[in-house]
Structure 1
Amino acid sequence: MIRRWNPGTLAPPIGQYSHLASVPAGHELVMISGQVGALPDGTLAGPDAETQTRQIFANIERLLDSLGAGPHDLVKLFTLVAGAEHIQGCRAARAETFAKWYPDGDWPAHSLAVVTALAAPELTVEIEGVAALPRR
């Protein structure tokens, strides 16, 4: 089982993440490339960060499912937001998703960066991840 924790020797996290996460022996790390808010047909789920972020998490869940895994197997997420004006929508969708995925607040390690732009101008958010899966 992935262990996530926050040492008492520093301030608690300022958001929905754990300061530390470790992977148990006998697991392999799987890297999840940056996901965008694209539907299965390749079109964007919507123009706004909240809709795109919600779709990104759905895509990550599908990728994990294809591995026989789930959100509990995520060790680390890294979010890129194309402009500070999109942070609120991104956080709203993340809070909604994390309430379902981690009802006990045992969140993975997570970083968020605001960037000038992503790979295409219509993209507002991109999220990549690292999952730990038992070796088969």
Structure 2
Amino acid sequence: MKMKRIMRTNPTTMPQPVGNYTHITKIPRNAELFVLSGQIGTDIEGHLPKAFNAQVRNTFQNIQSALQTENLNATNIIKVNIWAVEPIDWDYFDEEWDLFFPKEYPAMTIGYISALGLPEIKIEVEIWAANS
């Protein structure tokens, strides 16, 4: 039996997204769900750069590595939660985002908060994925 694929839509009865995300992501019945802990911008040795954009770059690399361990990729991502403690450089972030998601965008939430788990962490990204 062929599994249905993850469907993403932006209903015409709603305003279009203000960024690179999708309003509705539908996961097929019997899909396997994967929830990644919030990923931060440490490098492979565990060092956390001070620069916000360097943390963004490393965070996307860490997400990619985590997905690969489960034979997943960006098309499997259904929801992204982004938490930042300072304003996001959207020009840089969108470049990294579009490299990561070249076609279809997942559902997304962005929140600015006063602190993350350690004082030096500037951004954390939580991923939900499904394998249909």
When the two structures are superposed, what TM-score results if normalisation uses the length of structure 2?
0.90
For residue 29 of structure 1, the aligned residue among 23, 33, 42 is 33
- How many pairs does the alignment contain? 128
**Change in CA separation of 1:93 and 1:132 when aligned onto 2, cut-off 3 Å:** farther
Cα separation, 2, equivalents of 1:116 and 1:69: 32
C-alpha contact 2:60 2:100 (8 A) present in aligned 1: no
Name the stretch that deviates more: 53-62 or 24-33. 24-33
Q: Which residue of 2 aligns with 1:119?
A: 117
Q: Which residue of 2 aligns with 1:94?
A: 93
Q: Structure 1 unaligned runs (5+)?
A: none
Matched position secondary structure for 2:65: helix
Give the aligned residue type for 1:108. P
**Change in CA separation of 1:93 and 1:56 when aligned onto 2, cut-off 3 Å:** farther
Cα separation, 1, equivalents of 2:43 and 2:102: 26
Cα root mean square deviation, aligned: 1.3
Q: Structure 2 unaligned runs (5+)?
A: none
* Cα displacement string for residues 65-92 of structure 1 (whole angstroms, at most 9, x for unaligned residues): 0001111100000000013xx312xx34
When the two structures are superposed, what TM-score results if normalisation uses the length of structure 1?
0.87
Cα separation, 1, equivalents of 2:93 and 2:73: 16
For residue 49 of structure 1, the aligned residue among 49, 52, 76 is 52
More helix by share: 1
Cα separation, 2, equivalents of 1:52 and 1:92: 15
Q: Which residue of 1 aligns with 2:78?
A: 75
Q: Which residue of 2 aligns with 1:13?
A: 17
Runs of 4+ off more than 4 Å: none
Cα separation, 2, equivalents of 1:113 and 1:19: 17
Q: Which residue of 1 aligns with 2:43?
A: 39
C-alpha contact 2:59 2:125 (8 A) present in aligned 1: yes
Alignment pair present for 1:2 and 2:3: no
